[in-house]
Amino acid sequence: MTDVAETTSRDVDKVVIRFAGDSGDGMQLTGDRFTSASALFGNDLSTLPEFPAEIRAPQGTLAGVSAFQVQISSEEISTPGDAPTVLVAMNPAALKSDLGRLAQGGTVIVNEDAFEERNLAKAGYIDNPLEDDSLDGYTLIKIPMSKLTREVCADLDVKTRDAERSKNFFALGLVSWMYTRPTEPTLDWIEQKFKGKDKVIAANTAAFKAGHAYGETAELGSHVVSIPPAKLDPGTYTNINGNTALSWGLVAASQQSGLPIFLGSYPITPASDILHELAKHKNFGVRTFQAEDEIAAVSSAIGASYGGHLAITTTSGPGIALKGEAIGLAVSLELPLVIVDIQRGGPSTGLPTKTEASDLLMAMYGRHGESQMPVISAYSPSQCFDAAIEASRIALKYMTPVLLLSDGYLANSSEPWKLPDVSTLPTIDVEFATKPNTTDEDGNPVFHPFARDENLVRPWAIPGADGLMHRVGGLEKDDGSGNVSYDPANHARMTELRKERIDIIANDIPLTEVRGDVDADVLVLGWGSTFGAISGAMRRLRKDGQKVAHAHLTHIHPFPRDLGEVLNRYETVVVPELNMGQLVKLIRAEFLIDAKPINKVMGQPFTAGELERELLAYIEAGKAS
C-alpha cells in the first residue's frame, strides 16, 4: 500500500483532512494547531470542529468520538469541505463513525496500537478492520503511534501514561510533514502553551518531531502534498472563529460608541466562549457578570442599560426562551440591549454541541404581546465581527433591544480574516439627554421620557442627570410623558408606534445585494451560516454553465426595503435553511411568493455538494417548464 517512494511533493489546490479520536485524545487541539500552521502559511481555510456534549464520554465508544475537519486551499473556499480526503483515526470508534464521510479512494491514517480487542469491541467491530477487506478502496497507513510516542519519551523522565497522551502530537507531526506545513509555529506554540510544565513540553515536542521524522524515514514520500498559499487580498490576516470575532465586534462597538460594555451572561454551550473572551478584556472597560441564571443575566443587562452602558446578554436557544419576558420589558422600556443567540440543535437540550438555525421564529415572535425588535444574522465566522457592530449600532441608535443570531458552526469554526483598519469602522453616535424636552401646562420645563424624535426614537436619560428624574416600567405608558396609562386609544397608539419605529430602521440598512447571475431564473435566498455552503454550490454550478443568483440576508427584521421587489424578479426563490423552514415562512407570509425550502436538521452544516444537487434540480425543473 505504501511501497512507492517519491521524494518530491506534488501541488494540489485543496485538501480536506479530518482528525478523529476519543474525546480525551486531543483532536480539537490537533486540528486547531494544524489549522493555525496552515493559516500562517497563507492558505485559505475553513474548519468544522465536532465534539460530543459530554466532557469525557465513555472512552473508546462511538458516542465519545471527537472530530475536527479542516479544508485548506490555495484558492478561495467557503466551507470545511464535503468529504475529507484524509481521515486520521486515533481509535476504532473514530474509524467506524467517520469512515463513511471519507471520499472514495481517500487515505486513512490509523493509530494501529488502539486497534486491540477491547477497543474494537467497544466500537462494535467483530473483526479488526485493519486486517480484513473493510478498507479496500482506501489507502491505509497503519502506524503504531502510541508505541512510537512512548519510545521517544522513554528518556525524558515522563510517566508512560503521560507520554502516551502526547500521541496526538505524533499524528500532528506526521500530517504536518505530509502536507509540508511549517513546524515552527507548532513548536513555538507548545513552548508557550505549556510554559512551566517542562516535561509536557519535552514530551509533546518529542512526539511532534517523531511524527514528522516518521514520514520521512518510513518512505511515505508518495503522500507528500503541498498546497500553495492562496491568492488573498493584500493585507494583514489572522485566523478567527465566530465567537471570538463576535466578542471583538462588541468591544469595537464599545469603542466606537464610547460606552462601556456590560455583559450579563450565564454559561451555556455554544455561547460561553463569548463570556470567557470578554472577561479577558476588562482593560477596555468591559464589565462581565456571570449571573445566577439566564433571567438574571438579561435583567442585569437591562439594569446596566438604564444606567447608560452598552448592555449585552449572550446565550443559546434555551436561554432565549428564559429571557423572553425580560426582553419584552426591554421592548416596552425602549432601552438598547444586544441579545446574542448562538443557536444549537433543539428543542430542549437537543444537540448542545451541534449546529442548527432553528431559533429564527423565536427571535421574531418568541415574546408575549406585540413586541417587535430588530433581528440581525451573522453569516461567516469573521463576519460575526461586523454583525456585532451592526447589532450594537441599531440598538443604540434606535433605543431598542436587538437579537443577533449566530450558530454553533459559526461559533467554533474558523477562517482567515483580513483585519479591518480600525479607523474605518463606523462611529456610533450616542447622546444622553441633558435637559427637559417639553413644558407642562404651566409652562415649566419638564422631561418626557417617551417624547420621540423624527425616527420615533425616545431620549436616553440616565440616572445622575439633573432634573430628568423619571420612572420607566412594564405597564403601558402614556405617549410622551411615560406615565402609567390604561387609556385604550393610547395603548393602540403606543403599539403602533413601537412597530413603526422598528419598521423605520429599514431606511438605514443596506439594500439587497444579489451575487452570481443577476439575470438567472433561480435565486437562492440564504441567511446565517449557510453562506459558505451556498457560495460553494454557486461556484460549482456556475463553473458547469448553470445560471443562478444568490442573496444573503443579514437583516431579517426589518427586511431590506427592496427585498420583495428583488424576489419578484425571479421565477424561483429557493431558501436553504438548517431548520424545517422558518425564513421561508416569513418570505411567503410577507411577500406572497411561493418560495421553496431546502432543509437539513442533522446538527451539521450543509455541504456545498448537497446544495449543488438540490439547486440543480430547481434549475432544471425551471428549464423544463
Partner 1 sequence: MANAPVTTKKDWSTDQEVRWCPGCGDYSILTAIQMMMPDLDVRREDTVFVSGIGCAARFPYYMNTYGMHSIHGRSPAFATGLKMARPDLDVWVVGGDGDMLSIGGNHLIHALRRNVNVNILLFNNMIYGLTKGQYSPTSQVGKVTKSSPQGSIDQPFNAVSLALGAEASFVARTHDMDRKHMQEMFTRAHAHNGASLVEVFQNCNVFNDGQFDTINKRDVRDAMLINLEDGAPVRFGVEKERGVMIDKFGDAVIVDVADVGEDALVVHDEKRPDPGVAFALSRLAMDPYSPTPVGVFRSVDRVEYSAEATSQLAASQESKGQGDLAGLLRSNPTWEVE
Note if the bond before 270 is cis, omega within 30 degrees.
yes
Beta-sheet strands, E only, within 500-543:
514-516, 522-527
Q: Which residues 118-147 are close enough to bind partner 1 by CB under 8 A?
A: none
Tell me the three state secondary structure of residue 121. helix
Q: Please report how the helices 184-193 and 198-217 are oriented relative to each other, as an axis angle in degrees rounded to 10.
A: 160
Q: Which residues 548-577 are close enough to bind partner 1 by CB under 8 A?
A: none
Assess 182 for contact with partner 1 (CB under 8 A). no
Q: Which residues 333-372 are close enough to bind partner 1 by CB under 8 A?
A: 333
Least distance to partner 1 from the beta carbon of 307, Å? 4
Assess 308 for contact with partner 1 (CB under 8 A). yes
Q: Which residues 13-52 are close enough to bind partner 1 by CB under 8 A?
A: 36, 39-40, 42
Least distance to partner 1 from the beta carbon of 464, Å? 6
**Identity of the residue numbered 385:** F
Least distance to partner 1 from the beta carbon of 83, Å? 28
Of 79, 300, 358, 377, the one binding partner 1 (CB under 8 A) is 300
Contact of 304 with 446, CB cutoff 8 Å = no
Q: Which residues 405-434 are close enough to bind partner 1 by CB under 8 A?
A: 418-420, 422
Alpha-carbon gap, residue 472 to 482, rounded angstroms: 7
Residue 300 or residue 412: which is nearer to partner 1 going by CB?
A: 300
Residue 287 or residue 588: which is nearer to partner 1 going by CB?
A: 287
Residue 210 or residue 301: which is nearer to partner 1 going by CB?
A: 301
Residue 304 or residue 534: which is nearer to partner 1 going by CB?
A: 304
Strand ranges of the sheet holding 261-265, from the earlier edge strand across to the other edge:
287-290, 261-265, 310-315, 337-343, 401-407, 375-377, 555-557
Beta-sheet strands, E only, within 485-591:
514-516, 522-527, 549-553, 555-557, 572-577
Least distance to partner 1 from the beta carbon of 282, Å? 4
Question: For residue 193, what is the enclosing H or E element?
Answer: helix 184-193
**Identity of the residue numbered 443:** G
Least distance to partner 1 from the beta carbon of 469, Å? 6
Contact of 199 with 156, CB cutoff 8 Å = yes
Alpha-carbon gap, residue 72 to 88, rounded angstroms: 16
Least distance to partner 1 from the beta carbon of 268, Å? 17
Alpha-carbon gap, residue 311 to 162, rounded angstroms: 45
Size of the site for partner 1 (CB under 8 A): 72
Assess 467 for contact with partner 1 (CB under 8 A). yes
Q: Which residues 476-535 are close enough to bind partner 1 by CB under 8 A?
A: 483-484
Eight-class DSSP state of 559: P
Assess 470 for contact with partner 1 (CB under 8 A). yes
Of 147, 435, 471, 613, the one binding partner 1 (CB under 8 A) is 471
Residue 118 or residue 471: which is nearer to partner 1 going by CB?
A: 471
Stretch of residues binding partner 1 (CB under 8 A), selected from 136-144, 283-291, 536-544, 609-617: 283-291
Q: Where are the alpha helices (DSSP H) in 355-423?
A: 360-365, 384-398, 408-412
Assess 436 for contact with partner 1 (CB under 8 A). no
Note if the bond before 347 is cis, omega within 30 degrees.
yes
Assess 309 for contact with partner 1 (CB under 8 A). yes
Stretch of residues binding partner 1 (CB under 8 A), selected from 27-35, 450-458, 467-475, 569-577: 467-475
